[in-house]
Amino acid sequence: MECYLDNSATTKCLDEVVEVVANCMKETYGNPSSMHLKGVEAENILRSAKETIAKTLKVEEKEIFFTSGGTESDNWAILQTARANKRSGNHVITTKIEHPAVLNPMKQLEKEGFEVTYLSVDENGRVSLEELKEVIKPETILVSIMGVNNEIGTVEPIAEIGELIKKSNPKTIFHVDAVQMYGKLPIFPKRMKIDMLSVSGHKIHGPKGIGILYISEKVKITPLILGGGQQKGMRSGTDNVPGIAGMAKAIGIIFAKLDEEKEKLESLRDLFIDEVTTLPGITVNGPAKAAETKEFAAPHIVSVSVEGIRSEVLLHTLEEKNVYVSAGSACSSNKPAVSETLKAIGLKKELLGSTIRFSFSIFTTKEEVLYAARSLGEVLETLRKYTRR
């Protein structure tokens, strides 16, 4: 059995998505900036995609911008908003557990003279509203907090955060990295006081290399790419029509059964946790570990620490059984760095390098989950024979 449980890194494209992408490449291949029929056909695809996406977020179509993915969306939102609003203040707020696509732009802002406050989190990865309230000041121009943590699956109190920000300083812009949230949980920017929101297509069974940045029409932000004036001059360059069409197709399918799939993923997550917690030396990290905190847990992510065995060893040993998982964030998995998220939640030092992530999707089955848990047990038994003294 092949058991792919690394869906927070990337997801398999839906068959319908592959068909749409191929059709755009073979049939509706015109440049949407062209005035002839082929260009109009491509432009109509873009308009339809914006309509589909805007409906899921309950925002205006003119507030949807297409990017190359979540990293670009995060970079654009953070860097270009901070720079555009520098005259109003130089203070920015984020958390210690953000994705590198947020943390690295924050480091860049510090080099440019901005003051950045990094919020701490509790043992479940949740931001403290009290701490946030204390650090917001008149000079605060931007707050960027992720919707769902990509490593341990913590769901942040986004609606409460948005309300608090606007009460404390109505001029402060609120950005949410929703890469692991969109398509898994409902999120409505207007209602939640979100000014900008980042999405990545390949996390929701769409193509790689395509993403979304929702920008409220009230936000002051400078263009990302200058050129031919596409996307209202905010991000010039020929539009990625096949990617946009494929992502929109995936979004339409995913959101048609959002509640149903959420319940299915939650049941698979709980089943997996029940199975692996019977194994010796296993620790489940984040809010999914206990019933009383599970309401703060994303339905598709389980972080597991294994006492005494390095995550890289465990990952490759599971791979031999056709179980594919991740050692933390896939965006930094090729670098021997300790997870900032795991440090921020206070994980024991000896477990920091012994943690792997299992993440599920709409394709994941009960049989795969049980096979993965059983394989983990077999792998642990084998590896511990070689680590005993």
Active site residues: 331
Token couple for 114 = 């901005």
Helix, strand, or coil here: 215?
A: strand
Taking the C-alpha atoms of residue 258 and residue 173, their distance in angstroms, rounded to an integer, is 28
Nearest to 13 by CA among 318, 356, 281, 246: 246
Token couple for 304 = 């597991």
Neighbour tally for 241: CB within 10 Å: 24
Q: Which amino acid is at 112?
A: E
The b/e string for 69-84 (b: 16+ C-beta within 10 A; e otherwise) is bbbbbbbbbbbbbbeb
Tokens 């599971």 sit on residue: 318
Nearest to 303 by CA among 359, 241, 366: 359
Do β-strands 173-177 and 196-200 pair in parallel, antiparallel, or remain unpaired? Answer: parallel
Phi-psi region of 357 (alpha: psi -120 to 50; beta: other; left: phi over 0): beta
- The distance from CA 313 to its chain's CA centroid, rounded to whole angstroms, is 26
Token couple for 284 = 């489940």
Q: Which amino acid is at 75?
A: N
Q: Which amino acid is at 88?
A: S
Q: Which amino acid is at 156?
A: E
Token couple for 338 = 């300790």
